[in-house]
Amino acid sequence: MPAQKNPDSNEDALVSRIARKLHFAKSAALPIGVGDDAALWHPTAGYQTVLTCDWFLEGSHFLREKHPADAVGWKCLARAASDIAAMGGKPRCFLLSLALPGELSGKWLDDFLGGLRRASKALRCEPAGGDTTRQDKVLINVTVIGEVRKDRAVLRSGARPDDLLFVSGTLGEADLGLRQLRTQKRVARASNAALRKHLYPEPRMALGYWLAQNRFATAMMDLSDGLSTDLPRLCKASGVGAVIAEGAVPRPSRIPEAQAVRLALDGGDDYELLFTVRPSNVPRFKRSMQKSFPRLAISNIGAITETKKLLLLKKEGVTQEFSSGGWDPFRKK
Amino acid sequence: MPAQKNPDSNEDALVSRIARKLHFAKSAALPIGVGDDAALWHPTAGYQTVLTCDWFLEGSHFLREKHPADAVGWKCLARAASDIAAMGGKPRCFLLSLALPGELSGKWLDDFLGGLRRASKALRCEPAGGDTTRQDKVLINVTVIGEVRKDRAVLRSGARPDDLLFVSGTLGEADLGLRQLRTQKRVARASNAALRKHLYPEPRMALGYWLAQNRFATAMMDLSDGLSTDLPRLCKASGVGAVIAEGAVPRPSRIPEAQAVRLALDGGDDYELLFTVRPSNVPRFKRSMQKSFPRLAISNIGAITETKKLLLLKKEGVTQEFSSGGWDPFRKK
């Protein structure tokens, strides 16, 4: 609350430190950032602005005693940028709102800013400003500002009956990594692919942009809460249903099949893209994919239906209604 | 953390409820908002985008047992929009990040959204999206996206020696209101001007825009942490000093003089504008002000100096160094 008296201005010092560590520099597109009342940003002519924000809270989204500070920094920006990929846009800049316990403003903060800076460089998304305050837990909110060429944004609502349904990469790996992290007694390291995907997810920026630019995707979203939670959202927005072949869903290897399937259907935090392609466009889409992304696995996991149901075709030939098992912070406990 | 199983999707229901209560509607400038991966927004040609975000946290910025939910909703948007006014811009849309204890998702949430909606209409700032999650305390982060005509943004760094220093309205009233609120046993009502200013601040949108459009202000910022904390920031950004006449600082009436002066110098949360005007421009500025804002008090509280010091001229003819007494959450306790 206002009105406390104190001559030193630690908040300003903290803001300067953040700006320095993030190697914030003025650019033509971002003439004013950290340090004024607000950031000034030049939008590109012929583009729409894409806006998204994401919570990343200690205890809900990460555990201070198990997640490395550097991974917290990387992931808070990567997951917000993934929403820009899901619209077919490119990230441009971000705002960081950070609330921090006083005792973390040394090494923890430096490591956090190191991870954030790496993500900022990898995603070409510049720091533009933010807000800092003190709290007893680490609270992070990241706003990412991106751009998409006019009339190229891919919405959740564009899927039509008979469109084929695709996902990128492997589903369930990040959740497998989380399970491994939970069994560890100290701060985890990215010692295998699953842990790496949980700690340092790489949003599908190039794929999302390419799908939008080439008008291949009719609907698209990123998988943050798990296929079984996110697919219903896409179907609802489009006013359609879907049928999924369980056997076609790309899943983690080297673990029991039943567990791999559950993780692939319900596991959150993968940040892979879920998108639909018109049947007539599929041959051209597949040929172009092989040229542009020769090493990226894309799986056709099902198709869109007019009937507003979600059906799962099991391997045994049984069909069952697909029920949401992914992550929802407002679930009943 | 991800991976909990539950079939119901309360978060989606909460998002729908927020969108409904805020009367979110698609518009030409904002074709996609709540409900997709990200919001799409059309920037106006010839304008720069202004970006700002602000924490508003239970326990730090408001008290659940004393601040009405409706005032929390109003103020979280108003104070973020004030940063846009301070750049000479107009707010366009906002993103709401809300973390809420489950037991507040009924009447408290409705009242909060009612206040937020009133602010959204008053400020002409549309809801564009956001993020929700569950927490044991109310956490709010608001991002406001505004616009300013190219080359008209007013920065903190434009003040030059001999510029005159002005503030709008009265300083210290919001802090006086906070002190009254603290003595109350239950949720406060805006029963007088000081409480009203604390609970429902009205950022100086029209004044900020007008000062920028007419190129009267050479430097500008909003007073959120108190004159004694904020003025040093403006001076530091501009590489100058300032001299303030204590007697000229507009202060609350009907309270003891010494208390009124302290509140006016150190009180936070006023969201008045602090700005500088070139001496040669002052006569024209004053004439235009009287025409455009006949009922708004503007006080000339001092002048900018080349010497990088902040001096306070006391009524008794004593000069003292001006020391920061405003609010800083990172102060030593």
Confidence band (pLDDT; 50, 70, 90) for B114? very high
pLDDT digits (tens, 9 = 90+) for B289-323: 999 999 999 999 999 999 999 999 988 777 888 77
Give the one of B89, B143, B267 whose C-beta lies nearest to A53's C-beta.
B143
pLDDT over 60 (residue B330): no
More confident residue, B30 or B219: B219
β A126-134/A90-100 pair status: parallel
Q: What is the pTM of this model?
A: 0.92
pLDDT digits (tens, 9 = 90+) for A270-298: 999 999 999 999 999 999 999 999 999 99
**Spatial distance between the Cα atoms of A265 and A262, rounded to a whole number of angstroms:** 5
Residue in chain A lying closest to B225 (CA): A2
Residue A31's pLDDT is what?
Answer: 72
Please answer yes or no on whether A97 and B267 come within 8 Å at the CB atom: no
CATH code for the domain defined by A14-149: 3.30.1330.10
Give the pLDDT mean for B195-208: 97
Angle between helices B227-238 and B257-266 (to 10 degrees): 40
Which residues are paired to B93 by β-bridges?
B126, B145
Give the pLDDT mean for A67-80: 98
More confident residue, B216 or A188: B216
Q: Which of A173-177, A190-194, B148-152 is predicted with the least confidence, judged by mean pLDDT?
A: A190-194
pLDDT over 60 (residue A329): no
Please answer yes or no on whether B49 and A226 come within 8 Å at the CB atom: no
pLDDT over 50 (residue B4): no
CA distances from A165 to A161, A216, B154 (A): 11, 12, 49
Residue B105: burial class (beta carbons within 10 Å; 0-12, 13-18, 19+): middle
Neighbours of B50 (CB within 10 A): 28
CATH code for the domain defined by B13-149: 3.30.1330.10
Residue A325's pLDDT is what?
Answer: 63
Percent of chain B scoring above 90 in pLDDT? 80
A-chain residues within 8 Å CB-CB of B92?
none
Residue in chain B lying closest to A48 (CA): B42
pLDDT digits (tens, 9 = 90+) for A90-119: 999 999 999 999 999 999 999 999 999 999
pLDDT over 70 (residue A235): yes
Residue B241's pLDDT is what?
Answer: 96
Q: What is the per-residue DSSP string for A239-278? A: T-EEEEEGGGS---SSS-HHHHHHHHHH-----EEEEEE-
Contacts of residue B272, defined as CB under 8 A and 6 or more positions apart, other chains included, come to B167, B168, B169, B170, B171, B204, B222, B223
pLDDT over 80 (residue A211): yes
Q: Which of B32, B53, B65 to mutate to test the interface with A (most CBs of A within 10 A)?
A: B53
Q: Which of B51, B182, B265, B270 to mutate to test the interface with A (most CBs of A within 10 A)?
A: B51
Which CATH superfamily includes the segment(s) A156-321? PurM-like C-terminal domain (3.90.650.10)
Q: What is the per-residue DSSP string for B253-309? A: SSS-HHHHHHHHHH-----EEEEEE-GGGHHHHHHHHHHH-TT--EEEEEEEESSS-
Give the one of B6, B61, B330 whose C-beta lies nearest to A10's C-beta.
B330
**Helix extents (H) in B10-55:** 10-21
ipTM of the shown complex: 0.91
- 3-state SS, residue B97: strand
Confidence band (pLDDT; 50, 70, 90) for A9? very low
| Cβ pairs A/B, distance under 8 A | 291
Please answer yes or no on whether A5 and B50 come within 8 Å at the CB atom: no
**Spatial distance between the Cα atoms of B164 and B284, rounded to a whole number of angstroms:** 13
What is the least distance, in Å, from the CA of A147 to any CA of chain B? Answer: 9
Give the pLDDT mean for A139-165: 97
CA-angle at A72, arms to A69 and A73, nearest 5°:
90
Distance linking the first and last C-alpha atoms of chain A = 33
Domain ranges of chain B: 13-149, 156-321
Q: Which of A26-40, B36-50, B303-317 is predicted with the least confidence, judged by mean pLDDT?
A: A26-40
Please answer yes or no on whether A3 and B42 come within 8 Å at the CB atom: no
pLDDT over 80 (residue B29): no
Percent of chain A scoring above 70 in pLDDT? 93
Residue B324's pLDDT is what?
Answer: 67
pLDDT digits (tens, 9 = 90+) for B66-79: 999 999 999 999 99
| CB of A238 closer than 8 Å to CB of A306 | no
Please answer yes or no on whether B38 and A146 come within 8 Å at the CB atom: yes
Give the pLDDT mean for A197-201: 97
Please answer yes or no on whether A143 and B53 come within 8 Å at the CB atom: yes
Please answer yes or no on whether A57 and B326 come within 8 Å at the CB atom: no
Residue B325's pLDDT is what?
Answer: 64
B-chain residues within 8 Å CB-CB of A1?
60-61, 63, 178, 327
Residue in chain B lying closest to A228 (CA): B7
| CB of A75 closer than 8 Å to CB of A35 | no
Give the one of B38, B97, B178 whose C-beta lies nearest to A2's C-beta.
B178
DSSP character for A32?
A: B
What is the least distance, in Å, from the CA of A223 to any CA of chain B? Answer: 10
Please answer yes or no on whether B157 and A36 come within 8 Å at the CB atom: yes
Confidence band (pLDDT; 50, 70, 90) for B271? very high
